[in-house]
Structure 1
Amino acid sequence: RTQSLRKTIAKRMQKALKDKIKKLVARQKKRIEQIKKHIHSSDKHAKPFAQLYRYNITYDSLKTSLKELEKLLKEPDIHESLDVVRRFLRKTQRLGMSLNYQESNTRMMLKFRGGLYRRARRKRLPKIIGARNELNKGQRIARKIERDLDKFFPSPKPYMNKNDRKLMQRYRNLQRRLRSEARKLQRNMQQMNKRLPVFRPGMQRNMKGALRQMRRATRRLGAKEPRSAYGHQQHAISKLSKLRKALRQSLQRQQGKQGQKPGQKGNRSGSGQRMGNRRQNEVKIPKPGDHKAPKALRQDILDAMKEKVPKRYRERVRRYYEKLVE
């Protein structure tokens, strides 16, 4: 809802600032061409080891973002262009961190390894540094685009009509209620954690971060600044999504532990034992000195093999039973 209102006001502002937008777009197009060259050069440096670390996927994503940015500037849609630039910058930051890690890791390995391994690493190091430096150059230009687009629009208040102001007030009240519900959830989590520490520190940090962003969104809506409010709302959604994912993973781990018996480890032994438990008939157990399992046991195992097993475990279970009947 905030995004819809934000776009409506932005279009009104863009219409009033048409001539300025033309100059702004022309300047950013030149910068995009420069960024393309740096990203291409960075990609070229990273080619020898790109697939190993999946960098090729990130470089493709960066190039796609630049195409999307060019398309939006042609329309022109300044607000959406700003969002794309920020996503582009987040991707370059993650890739830059990964390249920095590869550089430090390679330097460390050069101290402890020798021979062919060391020569290969020594050859790779300049390529890693080159890829990172070119990426940083493109990133610096992208930050200039972000600053230009962000500073371009003045305050949206003069472009708001009476209906816009009413909507802003309604969204502010709704945001406040959502934050109140989130605070109740946080208190419940804290109380449960006192009795049994089931919520990890990362979950609590995400909850706290979401509440902080929701508070800021409420303030921005009160100040009649939909663009800034929308940004805080997106950050809050991101934090809550991470919390939900962590809770689901924690629940799955707990369910997995409850499905195991004492002494069982992992799905492999658990699957085999559960299949064995399905058989109710008594079977003679072979003595340690017997070379072959008794006929009754072999037949029972063969029958058990016919029962359905989850697809991901079929090959493991098949090999397990084959060993038993040898």
Structure 2
Amino acid sequence: MSPSDTIHLNQSGSTEFVFQMFTSSPNIQTLLFCFFLFLYIMIICGNSAIIWTIYINTNLHTPMYFFLSNLSFLEICYTTTLIPLMLANIMGKRKPIPFAACATQLFFFGTLGSTDCFLLAVMAYDRYVAICHPLQYTLIMTPQLCTQMVAGCLGLALFLSLPFTALVFNLPFCGHILEINHFFCDAPPVLYLVCADTRVAQAVLYVISILVLATPFLLICISYVFIAITILRIPSAEGRQRAFSTCSSHLTVVLLQYGCGSMVYFRPPSSTPADEDRYLALVYTFVTPLLNPIIYTLRNKDVKNALKKAMSKKAASENL
């Protein structure tokens, strides 16, 4: 098959992708389906509870919780672009995914994942202003600025994801049915199936990874250096503990998100077995979105107390 024929296949939409199965055993397939479905339901319920709690409690209508509710909403959208299709492909025979559907999934995965990373940097800046400039906090972090920052995160993610998706899926693919060694359409395994020189696309992916992962992480580190200096100057131990508690949850999420992302995108394409990418992807597909509401609930007294109060009010209203 010549490259021109392959390009014709891509443009005509006859090229399809299939995901590599986790296992061919029906019993294990059923167990995996039930396990991943349970995790997905927990992710939806946990992050929805965070959004609902913040929405109904006026005490939580502050920039920090505004960003937290947006983060939870992103986690719901992010996992919904990946997990339902994954669940559909676990049971029974492998089901082909159309060329356009694979491109769409890569686009939304890149957009939502990048927005998530940018938003974590914005949340670090919010903590920097709150701790290092408390008297000016309300003047700096206005509702208008917070909305603009969230919109900016999404806009920048769209700006990076759309051209890259177009670049990848305008490359020639060899064959009608292509097997992706993954459970969703991620850039590295899709580029592996291209039957042409991918050095330009790999270079663009590396640059985008720097912009999405390394740059926000560097900004977060700078913010927390100033935060740490300010916290150490607080005279009372109780004050230092209270200031640190507002940052510890965010730091935990940052380490999970950027750690797994860096191991996937900041290494040469052939430096580790492809299966390792799938295992790492399971972490930022399931573990991080699941832990976010747990971390922020268990380590944040305001959210925990507001959630308890909301649940008690709901239980009281149901008993009447």
More helix by share: 1
Please say which structure displays the higher CA radius of gyration.
1
What is the TM-score normalised by the length of structure 1?
Answer: 0.31
Task: Give the structure, 1 or 2, with the largest relative contact order (CA under 8 Å, sep 6 or more).
Answer: 2
